[in-house]
Each structure stands twice: as C-alpha cells, then as structure tokens.
Amino acid sequence: MYEALCLSALQEGESAYVTGVNAGPAMDRRLTDLGLVRGTRVTCVLRSPAGDPCAYLIRGALIALRRTDAEGITLERQAQAVPAEAVTT
Amino acid sequence: MRRVALAGNPNVGKSTLFNALTGLRQHTGNWAGKTVATARGEYTFEGEEYQLVDLPGTYSLTAHSQEEAVARDYIKSGQADGVVVVCDATCLERNLILVLQVLELTGKVLVCVNLLDEAERLGVKVDLSALSEELGVPVVGTAAGRQEGLNDLKAAIARLVERDAPAASRREPQERVTLAERYAAQVVRSEKADRRRRQQKLDRLLTSKSTGIPIMLLLLGLVVWLTVAGANGPSALLTELFARLGNVLEGWLANAPAWLSGMLLDGVYRVTAWVVAVMLPPMAIFFPLFTLLEDLGYLPRVAFVMDHAFQKCRTCGKQCLTMCMSIGCNACGVTGCRIIDSPRERLIAILTSSLVPCNGKFPTLIALITLFFVGGRSGLLASVQGAALLLGTLVLGVAGTLACSRLLSATVLKGMPSSFALELPPFRKPRVGEVIVRSVLDRTLFVLGRAVAVAAPAGAVIWLMANVTVGDATLLAHCTGFLDSFARLFGLDGVILMAFLLGWPANEIVLPVMLMAYLATGSLVEFDDLTALGRLLTQHGWTWRTAVCTMLFSLFHWPCSTTCLTIYKETGSVRWTALAIALPTALGLGLCLCVSALTRVLGMP
C-alpha cells in the first residue's frame, strides 16, 4: 500500500522513504549535503517539548529540522524499487 | 616542509585529531579577508617536517557558505601536498559524500576513519581495507581521543605526499549520495543496537515534553550552584594570600615617594589582586563544568529544546549555542556567531550576545544576592538559595535575549527565519583530563589574563581619579556627584553608575571601584567577610531596591571593551557596534526605571 505524506507528519518512531525534496533552494542543497535525497529512509526519532522541531535519523546521523522545512519533504511508507540508472558509478 | 590539509564534516573529532598530531605547535587566526577561523600546526615524522592546515568543518564543498568556499578554494588551489578527509566511523555513509566531493577536486586524498572507539561502543564495524579498495585511496583508522592509530596516520600521510593521483570526474549530487550509500553498505557492519537504543533513551529523557526543560534548568542550576558554593573557600584563601603579598610589597616600597607607592600598591596591585581572587575560583569551576557538558554533546540538545522559542523570535536555533558560549565570555559568544549562516540571523545573535551575564559579572551578582537576598548567611541552604537566584538572573538574561531578538526581527533586521538543520551528534564519553586542561588553558587563563591586563592600568587610573583633587574634591567625587541625580532616577546612585563606566574594560572591577569611591580613601580596602561590605553599602543608602537595580543594570548594560572590539571586528560596522552598545543599555535603564518608579509608587521602602 502506498501512502503519501510529508516529513512533518511522521510520528515519533515511524520511518518512511523520501519521494521529493522541495523546501526551498538553500534548504534542498543542505539536505542533499546531509544525504537526504529521493529514496532515502528517514526515521522520526525525537520531538522537542513544543513539538517543533523534530529530530530525524538520516543516514546514521540525527538531524533536527523545523516543521516549516520538514513540510517540504514528501514521503511514502514503502521504498520503491530504485531505478537502474540511479546506481551508476 | 610538506603541507597537508585536514578536511571533514563538523563533529568528527577533527580538532582532537589536529591537537593530537601537532600538540602545542599550532597557530590560530583568520583566513585572509574572511571571518573564518584557521589553525595551522606542525609535526615531525621520520625527520621530515609537516604542516597541517585545519580546514573549517563542512558538510559539502559547494561554496555556498564562507566555510565551504574556504575549504574548497584551498583544496583546489593545490597549495597542499595532500588532503586528509576525516570521517566519523559511527556515521560513515554521510561522511563519504564529502569524501567523494573532495576526490573530484584532487586525487591526493587520504581517508581517516576517526572515532573507531565510539563506533565499537555502538557496535559498528568498518572494513577499512574494503573501503580503501572501493574508493581507490588509502584509508587509515584512528581513535584520536585515545591517541590510537596516530603513527599509522603519520606514516600514511608520508606516503600520500609522495604519490600522484588524478582527480575523479564530476558527479551529480544525487549520484554521490547513491554511491556513498553503496560503499557504506559494503564496508559497514552494525551489530548490537543496545547502545544506540540507550542513546535514544537518554535523548528522549533530555528533550521530551515533560522532562526536557526541567532537566535543562536543573543541570544549569547545578553548574551555577557548584560555582557559587565551590568558589567561596578558594576566594577567601586567595584574598588572604594576596594580602600577605601586599604587606611584603609595602615593605619594598617603603622608601618610594608616597604617590608612587600609593598608585602601584593601592591602585594597580589591590585592584588586580581583587580581580584574580574574586574571578579565578568561579571561572576555574565554571569553565571545566561547562566544557564537560559541551564535550558530552549536551549543548546541541539544549538548542533543540530551546529552538521553538528562537523560531518564534524569527531567528536561528543555533543562536542558543552562541548564547551558551556568551555565558562563559561575551566576546567568545560573538565570535561563535560564525556558526550561523544567515547574515540577518547572525547579526541578531551578535547584537544580543551581551544580554546573558558573562562569568565576569558573576562575582558582583553573587555578592549582591548573598548580601541582600540571602541575608549574608553561609552554609548549604544559603548557597542553594543563592544559586537559585543567580539561575533566575540567568533566565532573565535569556528572556532579554529572546525579547530583543524578536524586537530586532520586527524592526531593523526584518525577515523570516531561514531554514536550518542542526545535527545532534551522539553522546560521547567526556575526556575529563583533556576537558580540564583545555578549559583551564584555553578559557580560564585566557580570560583571566585579559582581565588582569585591563585591571592593572584601570587600577592606576582609578587611584589617580580618587586622589587627584580639583577644587575641593577629588576627580572621582566630581564625576560621581555629576552623575548622581541622573542615576537616582534609575534606582542607582552616582557611584554605582561611575563604577560601571570605569568598569568598561572589565566587568570584574565594578564592585571594587564602587568600594573605593564609597570609602573615599582612594584605595581599595579588603573585606574579610561580606558582612562588612554589606554594612558599608547600607551606610551609603543602599536598600534592596538599589540592589535589584544594580543587579539589573549589571545584567543589561554596555558590553565590555573586548566584546565591543570583537563586535566591531565581526560586523565591520560602527553602526552595528553602536546598536550592540545601545540595545542592552536601553533595556537595563528601562528596567531600572520601571523597578524604581513602581516600588516608589507602591510606597515600598
């Protein structure tokens, strides 16, 4: 079952896969630097006292993002088969 | 001499590695024309001299921030005979993205997988030879905190500078990430997740809704209490020691002219001795404790917990980190603002940096709290009470920072918060020995040295002002008399305001100057216990209102001269520096005016 959602809606302890990054040019670039691109598995690990920001496990690192930024990242519950051309060396 | 650059992500132990390799043979400064710190250091290996250039820690080399531009330009320029990319073994996949980027600029790369000890504790194993095969460059494993693998690293660097290799072809960002993922899948084995689970449990405890904020206040309170309670004994001891030394000096200067011995002994010596005796013990306790929390990785958690408040003020969450640095020393906090990328948010952080009390204000605040609000008692209960009030003062400083940040965001520095991503590095076992050495050498002695350097000449100036008579009174008396009626409007008096003015070089000398002026003896008299000090202040008309206003003004007034200079250097603008002086002063005067007016209207004594 495919369910589309955005990163800010991810509950604590839940994981999903990135389908699109659209959080503004500067943030997109930074997220790419951190390894957050299409197909990356993201887990919501911590919620701050106010519920915003949240900390996500991205490629082994714990990264805190604000809700407004996380809203620009779309996810799906299941990993799609990675297209072959994305694995070129 | 061979030159080797050190590159890497932030928080990978690059500085620890740099320190371990070069020891004390290092020099720090700024990159030419940039507000980016640089460190260079030397070491000798098998008779050959090597110079290490510590590049700023970055996540990428796309040149979108000053740090990235510096790192990228340096690697591209070919000034180095080789580049060592330091990686965090616990988070190799992300680190490999930077390795791949560096490989596109130069082929002379050595990958140093650091923090192997941390990785082992987390059950992560890295196959170094397989990684070397995949990347096509040498790979060395180290645990710099434990001094492990350093010789292998030096040997590998020696081989690296000899070898010649072409750069890789350019890849798309997405391609790099995919490749890093593939390599990591091949060389990293993760076994027991227990440790990680324990880390997450700790993280949850420190940041959750019910426990995050109470634990934060408790920890800060504990640090403050240890500082307050622990500093008393050593301070008294130092005061006594300096008094004896003063007697010896008096003997030596017995034959000197009265004005000379007066200026040197009563001016320079007494003020300097006071500053050292009052300042050194709290700093020697506070800085190591604070560095310990920093080393543990707690500060990013504080920024995480506090971020919502900063977001509401339309500023960067990293401002919380620079604010914490300001508690140690405002000037350090101003330099620390470099970690904030957005120029608007960096300026706000710089302008509000002096709104939290630095270590130099602690002694004055502690003395006034003890005298007027704890009743001059001593003992456990009193020290807890004193620490709680000092914590309250700190919280007021944080509130002031948030309020002023919001005000700036709505007026001269209009704008919405820029996006930000804050890494929460894993908790690391603090290296207690290194923490103490580092905090005492780098921070305590550095700040103390600076305070002494300004206290000595200030002592001479103050002595002169208190002893040079013009007309019927001393210079100091003229000045305090002139300021008196203005100061009384704000619940202060002329002497207090004058003391803050003369204390511009260093906040530590505010209280001694006040005493000198009240006693009008022209020299600082020692107080063996606080009771005598309290009696003197009440004799000069101090009430609890005076104490509250003095504390408020001590908390919020112009930054010290060092901080002002640092602000000017960082902003390059006289106008922003002027605002950084005007903002806290206006806030302090405003609050004092409110307190003094309100209490008078309500008919309080």
B34-48, B354-368, B527-541: which range is least confident on average?
Answer: B527-541
**What is the mean predicted confidence (pLDDT) over A71-89?**
67
Checking if the pLDDT of B396 tops 90, the result is yes
Interface test with A, best of B118, B419, B424 (most A CBs within 10 A): B419
Check B178 against A24: CB less than 8 A apart. no
pLDDT value of position B64: 78
CA angle B115, B121, B127 (to 5 degrees): 60
Spatial contact of B102 and B61, defined as CB atoms under 8 Å apart: yes
Q: Which of B570, B29, B569, B32 is nearest to B343 (CA)?
A: B570
Q: Rounded mean pLDDT of chain B?
A: 88
Chain A contact set for B303 (CB, 8 A): 64
Handedness of CA A55, A57, A62, A67 (dihedral sign): negative
Check A48 against B304: CB less than 8 A apart. yes
Checking if the pLDDT of B605 tops 80, the result is no
- As a whole number of angstroms, the distance between CA B157 and CA B163 comes to 10
Spatial contact of B559 and B581, defined as CB atoms under 8 Å apart: yes
Checking if the pLDDT of A87 tops 50, the result is no
Q: Give the pLDDT band (50/70/90) at residue B134.
A: very high
Phi–psi pair at A44, nearest 5 degrees: -80, 120
- As a whole number of angstroms, the distance between CA B541 and CA B122 comes to 62
Phi–psi pair at A75, nearest 5 degrees: -135, 165
Find the distance separating the first CA and the last CA of chain A, reported in whole Å: 31
pLDDT value of position B529: 62
- As a whole number of angstroms, the distance between CA A33 and CA A27 comes to 10
Q: Give the pLDDT band (50/70/90) at residue B523.
A: low
**What is the mean predicted confidence (pLDDT) over B224-230?**
88
**What is the mean predicted confidence (pLDDT) over B553-579?**
94
Chain B contact set for A60 (CB, 8 A): 90-94
pLDDT value of position A72: 92
- As a whole number of angstroms, the distance between CA B473 and CA B475 comes to 7
Q: Which residue of A has its CA nearest to B134?
A: A89
Phi–psi pair at B76, nearest 5 degrees: -65, -35
**What is the mean predicted confidence (pLDDT) over A38-57?**
93
DSSP of B263-278, one letter per residue? Answer: IIIIIIIHHHHHHHHH
Handedness of CA B345, B88, B431, A63 (dihedral sign): positive
**What is the mean predicted confidence (pLDDT) over B585-599?**
96
| Contact residues for B290 (Cβ-Cβ < 8 A; gap 6+) | B223, B324, B327, B328, B439
Q: Give the pLDDT band (50/70/90) at residue B126.
A: very high
Check B424 against A64: CB less than 8 A apart. yes
Contacts 24+ apart (CB under 8 A), B435-440: B435/B288, B435/B291, B435/B292, B435/B295, B436/B288, B438/B291, B439/B287, B439/B288, B439/B290, B439/B291, B440/B284, B440/B287, B440/B288
Interface of A with B (CB under 8 A): 23-24, 26-27, 29-35, 37-40, 45-53, 55, 58-66, 68-69, 86-89
Question: For residue range B425-434, what is the model confidence (pLDDT) as tens digits?
Answer: 888 888 788 7
- As a whole number of angstroms, the distance between CA B38 and CA B55 comes to 7
Checking if the pLDDT of B204 tops 60, the result is yes
pLDDT value of position B525: 58
Q: What is the largest CA-CA distance in chain A?
A: 43
State pTM to two decimals: 0.88
Check A49 against B174: CB less than 8 A apart. no
Q: Which of B416, B421, B210 is nearest to B304 (CA)?
A: B421
Spatial contact of B262 and B474, defined as CB atoms under 8 Å apart: no
Checking if the pLDDT of B524 tops 70, the result is no
Q: Which residue of A has its CA nearest to B58?
A: A33
Check A29 against B62: CB less than 8 A apart. yes
Interface test with A, best of B178, B197, B198, B203 (most A CBs within 10 A): B178
| Contact residues for B434 (Cβ-Cβ < 8 A; gap 6+) | B16, B145
Least Cα separation, residue B543 to chain A (angstroms): 40
C-alpha count within 13 angstroms, C-beta hemisphere, residue B210: 1
Chain B contact set for A52 (CB, 8 A): 307-308, 311
Share of chain B above pLDDT 70, in %: 96
- As a whole number of angstroms, the distance between CA B314 and CA A20 comes to 26
Chain B contact set for A81 (CB, 8 A): none
Question: For residue range B266-314, what is the model confidence (pLDDT) as tens digits?
Answer: 888 888 888 888 878 888 888 888 888 888 889 999 999 999 999 999 9
Checking if the pLDDT of B534 tops 50, the result is yes
Chain A contact set for B207 (CB, 8 A): 46-49, 55
Give residue for tokens 């008393």: B232
| Per-residue burial over B314-337, b = 16 or more CB atoms within 10 Å of its CB, e = otherwise | bbbbbbbbbbbbbbbbbbbbbbbb
pLDDT value of position B376: 63
Chain B contact set for A88 (CB, 8 A): 175
Check B177 against A35: CB less than 8 A apart. yes
Q: Which residue of A has its CA nearest to B183?
A: A89
**What is the mean predicted confidence (pLDDT) over B53-80?**
89
Spatial contact of B446 and B439, defined as CB atoms under 8 Å apart: no
Q: Which amino acid is located at B171 in the chain?
A: R
pLDDT value of position A89: 38
Q: Which residue of B has its CA nearest to A24?
A: B419
Q: Which of B295, B351, B342 is nearest to B323 (CA)?
A: B351
pLDDT value of position A86: 47
- As a whole number of angstroms, the distance between CA B369 and CA B548 comes to 9
Q: Determine the 3-state secondary structure of B450 from DSSP.
A: helix
The better pLDDT of the pair B492, B379 is held by: B492
Checking if the pLDDT of B147 tops 80, the result is yes
Least Cα separation, residue A32 to chain B (angstroms): 7
Pick from A33, A40, A89: CB nearest B179: A89
Least Cα separation, residue A20 to chain B (angstroms): 12
Q: Give the pLDDT band (50/70/90) at residue A2.
A: low
Check B212 against A30: CB less than 8 A apart. no
B141 touches chain A (CB under 8 A): no
Indicate the pairing of strand B82-88 with strand B109-114: parallel
pLDDT value of position B334: 94
**What is the mean predicted confidence (pLDDT) over A52-59?**
93
pLDDT value of position A88: 41
Spatial contact of B137 and B108, defined as CB atoms under 8 Å apart: no
Strand partners, B139: B111
Pull the structure tokens for residue B388: 């709680």
Check B308 against A49: CB less than 8 A apart. yes
SS3 string, B196-257, reads HHHHHHHHHHHHCCCCHHHHHHHHHHHHHHHHHHHHHHHHHHHHHHHHHHHHHHHHHCCCCC
Q: Which residue of A has its CA nearest to B205?
A: A46
Contacts 24+ apart (CB under 8 A), B41-48: B42/B1, B43/B154, B45/B154, B45/B155, B45/B157, B45/B158, B46/B158, B48/B2, B48/B158
- Alpha helix positions (H), B78-172: 92-103, 116-121, 128-135, 150-162
- As a whole number of angstroms, the distance between CA B570 and CA B580 comes to 12
Check A53 against B307: CB less than 8 A apart. yes
Output the CA–CA distances (angstroms, integers) from residue B35 to B332, B460, B570, in the order listed: 14, 35, 7
Checking if the pLDDT of B118 tops 60, the result is yes
Phi–psi pair at B527, nearest 5 degrees: -120, 120
Interface test with A, best of B60, B94, B175 (most A CBs within 10 A): B94
Share of chain B above pLDDT 90, in %: 49
Least Cα separation, residue A69 to chain B (angstroms): 6
